[in-house]
């Protein structure tokens, strides 16, 4: 075998490109940056870690989350409370974040190196989640950024399998991230799907988590006669603290033909049963707009 062929073979092996079935797994690459940490004063055995790194365009990117000490290899709460050098790791399916630095009385800082797990990309692709798709500024770099985010959020194949089991329609990688951040699982998806509001998407489920809308509340809204309303109406009802009790109260005063926008107006202008009774006694017609005018002092002028 000639030296030229030997050199070419060495070069090929050095690239570490392994073809498995229809997938190509590329050699691991790394991201580096700085980390900071502080103990959560109101959450025992919890620590907040933030990771910061420079982007290729010269900007800065940050990821932060709260972790249990059991998530971190080689770091104890005693080390974090004390003073001294540390080396610890956050090991996830998407890759490993190795950290080095020091702590001083509950606060820490140092540098990190993230090494991605190429097999994670292939495993996710078999489930229909393509971490390499839709890269806009360089496929490999975008891939590493996604994998780093997946590691910090603990996006896993188990999460993907769980979401898919709900038969909620087409999901993508961004949906995985949203589910991990807002604690959306298949049980919640099924409950919301059965609540009476059709065609829900992941964005709706995220809003439901943010505004504490569960299937019980959704079913109450449907039972009150608002089954034809869009899901956004539930969000408005939560924002303005509209309850079934409030709806019953104003309906009992004669305002029976109300939509969600009407009820929102009543809440905004603090029009309740007592106000409606007084307004009616003053000769105000039982109309939402007239009641609003009465509240702001312009009715009859």
Q: In what order do the strands lie in the sheet with 95-104?
A: 60-68, 46-54, 30-39, 107-116, 95-104, 83-92, 72-73
Average the pLDDT over each of 25-29, 138-142, 189-193, 297-301 and give the range with the smallest value: 25-29
**Maximum alpha-carbon separation in the chain:** 105
What are 224's two structure tokens? Answer: 């009150």
Q: Where are the domains of the chain?
A: 28-154, 156-216, 240-296
Mean pLDDT on 46-71: 87
pLDDT recorded at residue 301: 63
CA distance 280 to 109: 66
Residue 22: is its pLDDT beyond 70? no
Cβ within 8 Å of residue 4, ≥6 positions away: none
Q: Strand (E) positions, the chain?
A: 18-20, 23-25, 30-39, 46-54, 60-68, 72-73, 83-92, 95-104, 107-116
Q: Is the dihedral of CA 161, 167, 170, 172 positive or negative?
A: negative
pLDDT band at 73 (very low <50, low <70, confident <90, very high): very high
Residue with tokens 């502080």: 38
The predicted-structure confidence for 109-160, as pLDDT tens digits, reads as follows 999 999 999 999 999 999 999 998 854 444 455 888 899 999 999 999 999 9
Give percent above pLDDT 90 in the chain: 64
Tens digit of each residue's pLDDT (9 = 90 or more) over 2-11: 444 344 334 3
> What is the rounded CA–CA span in Å between residue 295 and residue 274?
12
Q: Using one digit for the tens of pLDDT, what is the confidence trace for 168-223?
A: 889 999 999 999 999 999 999 999 988 877 788 999 999 999 999 999 988 888 88
pLDDT tens across 35-44, in order?
Answer: 999 998 888 7
Return the pLDDT at 222. Answer: 85
Residue identified by tokens 């959704």 is: 218
pLDDT at residue 1 greater than cutoff 50: no
Place of tokens 């090494």: 115
Q: Is 21 helix (H, G, I), strand (E, B) or coil?
A: coil
């Amino acid at each position: 075998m000639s030296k030229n062929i030997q050199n070419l073979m060495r070069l090929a092996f050095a690239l570490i490109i392994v073809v498995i079935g229809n997938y190509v797994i590329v050699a691991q690459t790394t991201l580096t940056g700085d980390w900071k940490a502080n103990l959560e004063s109101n959450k025992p055995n919890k620590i907040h870690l933030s990771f910061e790194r420079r982007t290729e365009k010269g900007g800065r990117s940050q990821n932060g989350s709260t972790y249990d000490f059991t998530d971190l290899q080689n770091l104890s709460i005693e080390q974090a409370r004390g003073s001294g050098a540390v080396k610890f790791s956050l090991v996830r399916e998407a890759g490993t974040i190795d950290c080095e630095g020091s702590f001083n009385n509950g606060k820490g800082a140092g540098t990190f190196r993230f090494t991605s797990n190429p097999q994670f990309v292939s495993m996710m692709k078999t489930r229909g989640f393509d971490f390499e798709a839709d890269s806009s500024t360089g496929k490999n770099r975008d891939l590493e950024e996604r994998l780093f985010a997946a590691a910090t959020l603990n996006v896993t194949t188990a999460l993907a399998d769980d979401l898919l089991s709900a038969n909620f329609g087409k999901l993508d990688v961004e949906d995985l991230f949203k589910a991990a951040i807002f604690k959306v699982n298949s049980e919640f998806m099924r409950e919301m799907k059965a609540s009476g509001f059709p065609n829900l998407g992941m964005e709706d489920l995220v809003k439901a988590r943010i505004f504490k809308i569960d299937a019980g509340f959704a079913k109450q809204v449907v039972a009150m006669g608002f089954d034809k309303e869009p899901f956004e109406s539930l969000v408005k009802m939560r924002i303005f603290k509209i309850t079934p009790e409030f709806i019953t109260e104003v309906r009992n005063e004669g305002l029976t033909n109300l939509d969600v926008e009407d009820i929102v107006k009543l809440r905004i202008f603090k029009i309740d049963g007592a106000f409606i009774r007084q307004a009616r006694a003053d000769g105000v017609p039982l109309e939402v707009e007239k009641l609003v005018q009465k509240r702001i002092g312009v009715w009859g002028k």
